[in-house]
Amino acid sequence: MCTPSPPDATQALTQPPVLLVYASHFGQAKQITLAIAEQLRQQGIAAHCMALPSGQAVQAIAGHWRAVLWIASVRYGRFAKSLAPFIHAQQAAAAQTPWGFASVSLTARKPEKRSPEAHRNTQQFLARLQQQGLQPQWAAVFPGALRYPRYGWLDKHMIGLIMRITGGVTDTRLEVEYTDWDAVRAWASQIAATLQAD
């Protein structure tokens, strides 16, 4: 959990914080979340980070938030199962709260996949939400990291196979970070600018 102390005390007193919820297996989506929170803080916006709660603990995200950002990694073509229900629950409780979604994946290591429209998992996830009347104000696709030594046997071999098929790194001794941190900060900066203009 992170609660960076915002430098602009006036803003912090008059505005509720932005909530950032991450769903992360090996820490990359969490690191991206912390970088977004830090950028918001630098622009005078309070931010509160938490891991996606397990089960149906919807009360964990209850509260008055200036905006809610969901940052989730892709695992075998899917985001965390409870992600969509939590987005639904949060919007049902406070429909006026602007929200954003960022996906983290290895597919996005390819520049041509780095938009919500061009990234299949993200596009499908957002299309399903849209069918139910939910549309994010902000959406982004970020490349994650390949960390073979941290994976169990099966995952290591599965990811190795996918990397071979898609022309990626296949040396299972390696860890490779593809995240474009400038793009992460730019997304956060854009969100901060929108919130400040409201």
Ligand X SMILES: Cc1cc2nc3c(=O)[nH]c(=O)nc-3n(C[C@H](O)[C@H](O)[C@H](O)COP(=O)(O)O)c2cc1C
Interacting residues with ligand X (CB under 6 A)? 24-30, 73-77, 104-107, 144-146, 151, 155, 159
Nearer to ligand X, 64 or 157 (CB): 157
Measured from the CB of residue 92, what is the shortest distance to ligand X in angstroms?
A: 26
Q: Pick the closer one to ligand X by CB: 26 or 138.
A: 26
Phi and psi torsions of 39, nearest 5°: -65, -40
Q: Closest distance between ligand X and the C-beta of residue 86, in Å?
A: 16
Q: How far is the CB of 194 from ligand X (least distance, A)?
A: 25
Cα 191–197–198 angle (5° rounding)? 95
Q: Which residues lie closer than 8 Å to 151 by C-beta, 6 or more apart?
A: 159
Is 63 or 110 the residue whose CB approaches ligand X more closely?
110
Task: Between 104 and 195, name the residue whose CB sits nearer to ligand X.
Answer: 104
Residue facing ligand X at closest CB distance: 144
The least CB distance from residue 112 to ligand X, in Å, is 13
DSSP state at residue 4: P
In sequence order, which residues have a C-beta less than 8 Å from that of residue 160 and are 6 or more positions away?
148, 170, 172
**Which run of H or E residues covers position 33?**
helix 28-42
**Tokens (6 digits) for 105:** 């994946």
